Chain A
Amino acid sequence: MKHKLLALTLALLAAAGSLFAQNRVTGTVTDDSGYGVVGASVMEKGTQNGAVTDLDGNYAITVRPGATLVFSSIGYATQEVAVGNQSTINVLLKEDTEFLDEVVVVGYGTMKKSDLAGASVSMKEDAIKGSIITNIDQSLQGRAAGVTAVQTSGAPGSSSSIRVRGQATINANAEPLYVIDGVIMQGGGSSGADFGLGDALGNGAVSTVSPLSTLNPSDIVSMEILKDASATAIYGAQGANGVVLITTKRGKSGEAKFSYDGMFAVQRQTKRIGLLNLREFAEYYNDLASVGMVEANDYYSDPSILGKGTNWQDAIFRTALQHQHQVSAQGGTEKVQYYVSGSYMDQQGTIIGSDFQRFSVRANLDAQLKKWWKIGLSAAFSNTNENMKLADSDEGIIGYSLTSLPSAPIYDQDGNYYSITMKNYAIINPVAMAMLEQIKLNRQKTSGNIFSDINFLPQLVWHAELDYDISYSKAETFNPSVNLGSYQRASNEVREQKNNSLYWALKNYLTYSNTFGKHSITAMVGQEVWESRWDYESVFNTALPSNEVVNPYLGTGTPTIGYGYGSSSMASFFTRETYNYDNRYIATYTFRYDGSSNFGPNKRWAPFHSFAFAWRFSNEKFMEGAKNVLNDGKLRLGWGQTGNAGIGSYKWGTSMTKVATGLGTGYRQSNLPNPNIMWEKQQQFNVGLDLSFFNNRLSLVAEWYDKKSNDMLMPLQLPSYMGTQGNGSSALAAPWGNYGTIDNRGFEFTLTAHPVETKDFHWSSEGQISFNQNKLVALAGTASAAIVGYGQWNDVVSVSNVGESLYGFYGYVTDGIFQNIEEVMAGPVQGDGMPHTVDDDGIWHASTNPADYNQYNTTWVGDIRFKDLNGDGHITEADRTNIGSPMPVFTFGWTNTFTYKNWDLSVFLNGTYGNKVLNYLNMRVGNMKSAWANQPTSVLGRTQLEAIDSGKTYDGTGNVWNWFEDPQNVRVKNPGATLPRATTGDPNDNDRLSDRYIEDGSYLRVKNITLGYTFPKKWLQKVKIENLRVQVNIQNLLTFTKYTGYDPEIGASTASVNVMGLDNGRYPSPTMYSLGVNVTF
C-alpha cells in the first residue's frame, strides 16, 4: 500500500512538473554495495521541483533544460549532475565521511565528535546488544579503553565495580556517575545495609545489589564514557570518577515500527574445585589418626568400602534458566515522536534459590509545539524482585559447600535436610541454608524528566529541564525456625525494611552557537539544583507462629522499630565555551561552581575549571598530500579539575545515636566531627591522539593521562588505641576528612580495523588495551600512615602504604618447609610461644634442645618456615609485607566481527594481566586444621612425615610414645612438597596470611561469541516484516588462567572496604548459552 502511495506521489510530482518542463529524466540511485537507495531526494537545483527514489532506488523527474540535479540522502555525500540532454542518469552515492562525524552526547549538550578535545569513548547499541547482560554496567567490560569493569558477583542482576582510569579514591564512592538522559542515576545505595538487609550480604560498602539493574539495557541506544577531567569537569563535584552518559531510544517520525526482542538462555557453573571424595577423605582422616592428631574413627577405617559421598558443590549449583522479552514501538509525525517499550526478564541464579526478575516500561515523547519551542518527556518505571543468597564470606553457601563432609548426605531417610555435626565442629548444611534463609529485595523506581527547548534565535537555545527519580524498596530477611542439629533456630526472625526516596533536579542552560567564516563558537551557561530526600522504616520481630506467613506483625517477640529520614542537596552554576577555527584548532573551557549540603558552612562551595585544546592537523594544508593515507588526525591536550562529595551527609558535625542500656535509654556521640571537611579534588592531564588511515579502514586512539586525587575523602586512619576501630555500633567513628593523595597514570590504546571489506564479506576488528599505574602518594598524618583493609571481620589482609599501589595484600613470606628438627632449631623462632632464648642484642634464637619441641604445640617438622624479614630472630607482625597487588598491569578487550551476506559472527575476548588474587577461601578450606571439614585435593600433596629409624621403641619418657612424637626421629617423607603437614592445632600458625595463598589472577576469557542470521529483506517483505534476526550467544565459554579458584574475576570485597581481589567464595560468573530473536514490523 505504502509503495503505491509513493508511486502516486511521484506521478503527481511528475505531472506538476510537466506544465513547465521539457525533459523527463529517470534513473537509479545506488550505493557502494550496489543496492538501491530508498528515499533519496532528487531536486532540480534552485527550484522546489523534486522527486524521491522508490524502494529500489528508482526515480523519475521532469526538469527544464540546462537543469542540474541534486541527489542527496542522509548519510551520503550530496552529488550534483548536470542533466544536459541525458534522459537516464544513474548515480552512485558515496557515503559521507562528514556524516561519520557523529554527534555525541556531552554533559549538558551534544557535540560533533570531531570537535571533542577531551577523552571519551562511545558504546553503541550493537556493542551493548552483543553480550547477554542484565545490567548495563556489565557491558562495559573490555569494551572501552580505560574502563575496568569487574563483576562483584556472578549472581543474577548483580553489580560490577567500574573504575574509570584506575582507583582514584578510597572510601568515598569510587564508581562513576551515571547520567540517564540527563538524570543523575539515584542508586539508593550499594551495600545491602542501605536497603535494610543488615549484613546479610556482607558488611562491606559494596554488595551484589546493583543500582543499574533497575534499568532495562534494551532501551539504551548509546553510552558515552567521559574519562578525562576536561570532559567530566562539567559535572564538577560529581565527576571525579568519570561519567557515563546513557541515552535511551527516542521516537522517529514515520509509521509505527514494532519490534520484539526475545532471549532464552541456559547458565551453568562449569568449574568445580577439586575436593576430596569420601574415600580420599577417609584416607586423609586415617592419616591424621595415625600420627595422633585425631582419634581413629571406625566409620573411616576401611576406605575401600566407602562410596564417593556427597558432592556438595553439585548440590548447591544448578543449571539455571533465563528468559527475557521486550516489545517496543516507535514512530510519530514530524511534530510528535514517541518511543514506548515494555520488558520482562526472569533470571535464575546458578546457586540454588537465587533469582532476579525485572519488569520495566518506558515512554519517551518529543513534540515540536512551535517552530521555536520543543518539549520532551522521558518516563520509565521498573520493578525488580530478587532472591539473594549469601554466597561468599565465612558464613556463605560456597564456603559451607566446600567444607561440608562428603560423608554427610544432603537429606536424611525421611527427606529432611540432614544435619552435619561432628565433634566440636559443626557445618551448616549449605543446601538447607540456601533454601531456607531468605534475603529478598523488591525495588520500584519511576524516573525521567520533562524538558523544554526554546529557540530565541536560531543560534540561541534555552533548555529547561525537570528531572525526577522516585524510588521505593522493600527488603526482607527471614530466618526460619530450623532444627538441624548444629544448625538450629527455635525462634524464627524477620526483618522488613521499606525505603523511600525522592530526588528532583531543576536545570536551565542557554546555549549559543554560531559560525563566522572560519570561526565557530558555542557558549553555554547554566544552573542546576537538586535535592534528594529519603526515609526508611523497619520492623524486626521474632517468634512468628510458623514459617508459612512472613509478617513481623505476627511475631510474638518484642518488635523493634527503626525509622529515619534525611536529605541532601546541591546547587551549581556552570559554563562551557568552545571555539573552533577552520576545523583545525579547537579549544574548550568549562567551569563549574558547586555547593553541597554534605559539607559544613566553612567549606560548602568549590570551583572546578578545565581547559582542552585540540589540533586537527590532518586539515592543515601541508597534510593534504597525505590525505589518501591519513584521512583524519587530531592531537588533544586537556587539563581539568573535578571533585567528589560522595560521603553522605553531616560528616561535619556529630550526631547522637540512641542506645538501649540496662540503666534506661542512652545516647552516644556516634562520630568525631570535622567541621572543615571539604571536596575531594582531582586534577587530570590528558594527551590524546586520534588517527584514521585509508578512509577509516584503520584507526587508532591513543591516550596518556595523569590523574591526581588530592584531599581524598576518607575516615582518618587511626590505630586501634584511638578507640575508633571497635564494633561500628559502639566505637566512635573516626573523623572524615581530606587525608590522602592518589595518583593514577596510564596509557590507553584503541585500534579499530576493517581488514576485509568486500561486497559479501566484512571483517572488522577492534582491540583496546589499558595500562594503569596506581600509587598512594601521601596520607595525612605521619609517614607511616597506611590504609588497612580487612578480610572477614577484622582480619587485616591489605595494607596500602604510602608510595605503593593501593590495596596490596599484606602477609608473611614463606621460605620452604622444615625438613627435620635441625632445621626447626636453626630458626627463626616462628612465634612468641615457641621455645627460644634471647641474646644480649635482643635477637631471638630457637631452642636447640629437641626435647623442647613436640608436634602438638610447637613448631614441628613439616611446618612452614616463615621469613624473618627484620632479622630479629622471630616472626612477628613486623615480618609481614606487601605480598602482591590486586591491581592489574593492564586490561584488554578484543572484538572481531565477521559478516558474510546475512550471517554475522562476533567473538569478544577480554582479560587482565598482572593482578594477584588472595585465595581466602583456600586459606579456610585447605588449611588442614580440622578433621571435621572437607579439604581440597591439593592437600594430597601435603608434607608427610616418616620415622628416621622405624625400629626405635619408646617407653613414654618425656611423654614420647611414638616415633611421630619424637623430634629426633621424624623427617619429611616427601621433601618436594610445598604444603605443610596436616595439624589440627596448627601451633606454627601455618595458615596465617602468607604468599602461600596469593595467586596470579591474570586471565584471558572468551567472553562472548555471537552468531547471528538476518533474514533477507526480500523474503520478509512478503510477510510484512521489516527485519528478522536470530542469534545464538555463548558467554564466558572459556577462561584461561592459573588461578585455582572458581573465577579469577574478583572485584571489590563485599566484606570490607579497601580490599580488592579477595576471593572468599565469590559467586562465580556462569557460562551462559542463549538463543535470541529480534523482529521488527
Chain B
Amino acid sequence: MKNVLKYMALGVVVMLGMSSCDKFLDRPAEDSYNSQNFYQDANQCIQGVNYLYNSPWYDVIRGFYRVGECFSGNYYMGSSPYLQFTVNGSDKELRDMSASLWAVNANAITVYNRLKEVTGVDQNTLNMCMGEALTWKAFAYFFLVRSFGEVPIVHDMSSMIASGDYNSVYKAPKEDVYNYIVILLEKAMTLLPKKVANKDGRIDYYSAEALLAKVYLQKAGVTGTLNQADLDKAAQLAKDVIQNSGRQLLEVYSDNFRMENNKNLEALISWHWDASAQPWTAQNSFQSDLAMKGFDEFGDVWGEWNGPSIALADQFGVSALADPAQRSDVDTRRKATMMLAGDSYDYFWTGNGGFDYLRFFYDDDYGPSSNPNASAKSMNSPTGAGCVKFLYGDGNDHMAALGVSAGRMAYGLSTHILRLADIYLVYCEAKLHGPGSSTSDAFALDCYNAVRNRAIPGAVSAKTSITFEEVFKERNLELALEGDRWYDYVRVGYYNPDFAVADIQAQRRNSYGGDLNEVYKAYYTNGVWDASAIVYNTDEFTPTANAIKAKLNALPFPSEDVVYNPNLEKEAQPFDLSTIEF
C-alpha cells in the first residue's frame, strides 16, 4: 500500500513536470506596452512621436549653449575650453551633445520605420507623424554638420546593424550631409500638413520649409565660394514661409521666452519640455546653468560665475561699467537678453512684484515667499551681466503659467530653436553676397525693418540698402544666447574664414578685473556709481587664428568612436545620395 502511495505521488509530480513549459516560459514585458501592441490608433501614433520634441534632445542643451554661445563670444564661462578654443574630443558636454544628436537621429528613424508599418490608422495622421520625425532627423543633422563638419550619414541604423557595416562607414563630406538634409526636409514637406497660423506647437509644412531655407543659406558657401542657386533657394523658401505660413512676429520681443507662449505664432520649431522630469530628460534644465544661485527655490542654480559677455554688451552698445541711470538703452532685446545693474523684470518673481537684479543680491529679505533666504549675497558675474533668455523665474511663476510645479532642474519652458524672426534675417542674408556686400531688395529691407522695429519701437529706418555686416550683427542682437550664433561664424567661415577670425578676435571675450560686486553694492545701497577701479582684463586670452579656424572647420568628434571605427580618421568619402529610400 505504502509503495502505491509513493509511486502515485511521483507519477503526479512527473506529469506536472512534463506538462507544457512553453506557456510558462513565454513572458514578454508585462507592465508596459511593446512595439507590437502600440501604434494601434491615431492618438497612439501621435504619442509615439511626441517625445522627439524633448527627451532625446536633453543632453544637447549644455553643448548647444557652449558651442553656440561660448565659441561665438556671447557668453563668458571662466576657463572653459569653449571660450579658449581648446575643447577636445573627450570634453563631456561636447560628447553629450554629440551622443544626444545621434540619439535623435536614431529615435526619429526608428519611429519613422515603425509608423511605415502601421495599418488601419488615418493616413493624414500617419503622414504628419512621419513628417515630424523626418524634420527632427534633419534638424539633428543640421546641428551635426554645423558643429562637427564631416559626419557619417546614418540613414537607417537598423539596416546598418543588420548588415554589420556600422563600424566601417566613412564620414561624408559636408556638401553631401547638407544635401542629405535637403532630401530629408523635402520628403518631410510632402508629408506634413500646411497649417496656416499654426499655434499647436507641432512641426508643420512651413516649419520644415523654414528649416530648409536656413539649411540652403548655411550650405551656400560650403564649397568655399557662395553658390547663388542655394542663396536663391533660401530666399525663395524663406519668402514663402514669411508670406504664406500665417506665422507672425510677436509684438513684444521678450514674449518669445515666456512659458505662457510655449506655443506661439512666431515659433516654427521648438523643444517642448515637461516639468515632471518623467523620465529624466523630459524637462528643461537651462535655468540651472544660466541663472544666479537662489533665483529659484530648488537649489538647482549655479550659473552666477558666468555671464553674457562684455562683447555682447558691446554689440548692444551698453556697458556694465556705465552708470545705469545714464544708460542709453534703446534696443528692448538687450534687457530681454542680458541683465545689468538697474534692470527689473515684471515677468520673473511675479509673486514678489517682479524681479530686480541688484535687489536680488543686496536685499536679504527679498525672494520668493517659500524661500526668503535664498537670495545670493554677492554679484559674482565676471562680466557684470546675467542671462535672461531661457530663464523661467521661480516656482510661483511656473505654477502660474503652467499649472504644475517646477522641480530640481526641471521646468516646462519651451525652447524655440527656429523662430520666424530668424527666417526674416535668413531672407536678408540670402539676398547678400557675404562680407562687404549690400542689397536694396525691398523685401529684404522690409524683413530687416520688421525685426528692428519690433525691438526698437519707433525706430523706422529710412535705409535704402543694408549691408551684410548689418545683417550679421542684427542676427546676433536678435538671436543672441539662443544657441545659434556660432553657426553664423561657421557659415561665413566656409567661404570667408578670415572675416570670422577677425570678428572673433576683435571681441572683448575676457572678464572685468576688480571688484564689480562692490560697485553694484554701493550703487544699490547709496545710489553712488563709481566703476573707475574696474578694468577689462586684457591679459586673459585671445584665441589664435589657427584655433578658431580649426573649430570653424569641425569640432572634435567623440573619441571613442575612433576606437570602433578607424575609418572615421580617414578622409571623408562621397555618399551616394541616390541610395536614400524612405
Contact = CB atoms under 8 A, between A and B. Distances in A.
Is B one of A's binding partners?
Answer: yes
A86 interface: no
Contact of B25 (A569, A659, A781): A569
Which of B58, B92, B273, B565 has the most chain A CB atoms closer than 10 A to its own CB? B565
Given A490-B299, A529-B17, A730 B56 contact: yes
B6 interface: yes
A720 B300 CA distance: 29
B463 interface: no
Interface in B325-345: none
Contacts of A732: 103, 106-107, 110
Given A729-B279, A833-B550, A985-B79, A796 B560 contact: yes
A673 B55 CA distance: 21
Sort A-B residue pairs by CB-CB distance and give the 3 closest, nearest first: A723-B106, A662-B272, A489-B299
Contacts of B412: 662
A482 interface: yes
A726 B103 contact: yes
Given A723-B102, A784-B565, A832 B6 contact: no
Contacts of B544: 833, 835, 852, 857-858
Contacts of A462: 6, 10
B347 interface: no
Given A456-B6, A662-B273, A672-B110, A784 B103 contact: no
B487 to A, nearest CB: 19
Nearest to A655: B29
B25 A566 contact: no
Interface residues of B, number: 133
B58 A727 contact: yes
B294 interface: yes
Contacts, number: 390
Interface stretch (B93-101, B222-230, B417-425, B518-526): B93-101
B435 interface: no
Contact of A730 (B279, B294, B563, B569): B279
Interface string B30-71: 111111101000001001111101111011000000000000
Nearest to B95: A794
Contacts of B297: 490-491
Nearest to A555: B405
A527 B151 CA distance: 55
B441 interface: no
Contact of B166 (A566, A719, A788, A799): A719
B401 to A, nearest CB: 12
Contacts of A852: 544
A520 interface: no
A718 B560 CA distance: 10
Interface string B76-107: 00110000111011101001101110111111
A482 B299 contact: yes
> Which label, helix, strand, loop or mixed, suits the secondary structure of the B interface?
loop
Nearest to A566: B30
A726 B101 CA distance: 8
Contacts of B299: 481-482, 488-491
Interface residues of A, number: 120
Contact of A796 (B25, B53, B90, B152): B90
A61 to B, nearest CB: 39
Interface in B295-318: 296-300, 302, 305
A650 B28 contact: yes
Given A462-B10, A784-B563, A796-B560, A558 B404 contact: yes
Contacts of A333: none
A731 interface: yes
A442 interface: no
Given A491-B395, A720-B102, 14 more contacts: A508-B13, A542-B408, A560-B278, A567-B27, A571-B24, A661-B55, A663-B50, A664-B50, A720-B95, A721-B151, A786-B563, A788-B564, A833-B544, A877-B559
Given A489-B299, A655-B32, A662 B560 contact: no
B236 interface: no
B201 interface: yes
A623 interface: no
A831 B88 contact: yes
A810 B563 CA distance: 10
A833 B25 contact: no
22 contacts: A372-B6, A462-B10, A483-B374, A486-B302, A489-B299, A508-B13, A565-B30, A565-B31, A653-B29, A654-B35, A658-B32, A659-B51, A665-B47, A666-B51, A667-B38, A667-B47, A719-B564, A723-B107, A732-B107, A786-B563, A793-B92, A989-B86
Interface in A768-799: 780-782, 784-786, 788, 793-796, 799
A723 B560 contact: no
Contact of B21 (A529, A718, A801, A854): A529
A725, A796, A984, most chain B CB atoms within 10 A: A725
B224 to A, nearest CB: 18
B32 A669 contact: no
B55 A672 contact: no
Interface stretch (A11-19, A124-132, A596-604): A596-604
Contacts of A989: 86, 88
B280 interface: yes
A794 B151 contact: no
A488 B374 contact: yes
A646 interface: no
B85 A656 contact: no
B566 interface: yes
Contacts of B565: 719, 782, 784
Interface in A531-577: 531, 542-543, 557-558, 560, 563-571, 573
Given A655-B33, A735-B161, A833-B86, A729 B281 contact: yes
A941 to B, nearest CB: 24
Contact of A718 (B90, B151, B382, B564): B564
Interface string A485-514: 010111101000000000000001010000
A722 B22 contact: no
A426 B78 CA distance: 14
B84 A456 contact: no
Contacts of A959: 538-539
Nearest to B565: A719
A984 B79 CA distance: 8
Contact of B51 (A488, A543, A595, A661): A661
Given A662-B274, A663-B272, A664-B47, A657 B32 contact: yes
B55 to A, nearest CB: 4
Nearest to A877: B559
Nearest to B98: A720
A542 B99 CA distance: 31
B508 interface: no
B103 A799 contact: no
Contact of A662 (B3, B201, B300, B558): B201
A945 to B, nearest CB: 17
Interface in B137-156: 151-152, 154
A835 B32 contact: no
B407 A722 contact: no
Contacts of B298: 489-491, 542
Nearest to A481: B299
Given A424-B78, A663-B53, A732-B110, A877 B27 contact: no
Interface string B502-546: 000000000001000000000000000000000000111101101
Contact of A719 (B10, B550, B561): B561
Nearest to A959: B539
B282 interface: yes
Nearest to A854: B541
B417 to A, nearest CB: 13
Nearest to A794: B95
A928 interface: no
B576 interface: no
Nearest to B30: A566
A426 B169 CA distance: 44
A595 B21 contact: yes
